[in-house]
Structure 1
Amino acid sequence: MWECAIDGCEYATDDVEDLLVHQAEAHGQHTCKVCGTTVPDGFFAIRHAFTEHSRAEYLRNYEADTDDIRHREKVAKEIQKQADIERVVDRIKSEPAEPQA
């Protein structure tokens, strides 16, 4: 079971790709505190932070510690193993947006 962890959201699903679409459409955009890039909230924000920036930059710009980083890296890795990210992006581009939470 995959659960959305954004702002106390209670959305849950057995399909990780449905979770990523939900996060992108229901929770809007996240502006990176390191570089100012805007990306969908949730997984895509985490992926951006860890592929575009160093751990040190993340620690300095987000109120996080090394345990936070390890947890987010573990979740992102598991999602990437189970989800077809390109298919998710195509779904996000083609589906009407859900109302924002």
Structure 2
Amino acid sequence: MDTAWECGIDDCGSVFEDVESAIAHQVTAHERLECGVCGTIVPDGYLAIRHVFSEHSRAEYVRAYGAGAEDVRQREGLLEEIDEVVDQQRLADHLES
């Protein structure tokens, strides 16, 4: 079954046929953000969440963003959902073009 992927940044609402296109959109159409933990500039959306949860502890995320347990669970769930279907090579190809 095919799934539509909606950009969840602000009120964007753009919809894509595949997750790789949605992530590429987030990288190219939205401003980059400064990580609240380390100051690294990262693309907003999925890659920002991936950065925070792969480079920092949950406790660092909670302190830097004033997040609660539900915020952590929601973002970890999103990462798991995307990681199950994303084709890293296809994503790289999207980002290179």
Does the TM-score normalized on the shorter chain lie above 0.5?
Answer: yes
Q: Which TM-score applies when normalising by structure 2?
A: 0.88
1:4 aligned residue: 7
Unaligned 5+ runs, structure 1: 95-101
State the partner residue of 1:97: none
Question: What is the DSSP-based 3-state SS (H/G/I as helix, E as strand, rest coil) of the residue aligned with 2:37?
Answer: coil
Q: TM-score by structure 1 length? A: 0.85
**2:65 equivalent among 59, 62, 66:** 62
Distance in 2 (alpha carbons) for counterparts of 1:81 and 1:8 = 25
> Post-superposition shift, 1:48?
0.4
Measured in 1, the distance between the counterparts of 2:88 and 2:21 equals 11
State the 4+ residue runs in structure 1 displaced beyond 2 angstroms: none
Q: Is 2:80 the partner of 1:77?
A: yes
Partner residue in 1 for 2:34 = 31
Deviation at 1:63, TM superposition (A): 2.9
Question: RMSD over aligned Cα, in angstroms?
Answer: 1.2
Report SS of the residue matched to 1:30.
strand
What is the CA–CA distance in structure 1 between the aligned matches of 2:93 and 2:39, rounded to whole Å? 24
User: Where do 5+ consecutive residues of structure 2 fail to align?
Assistant: none
State yes or no: 1:93 paired with 2:96: yes
Identity of matched residues, %: 50
**CA shift for structure 1 position 81:** 1.0
The separation in 2 between residues aligned to 1:71 and 1:49, in whole angstroms, is: 14
The total of aligned residue pairs comes to: 94
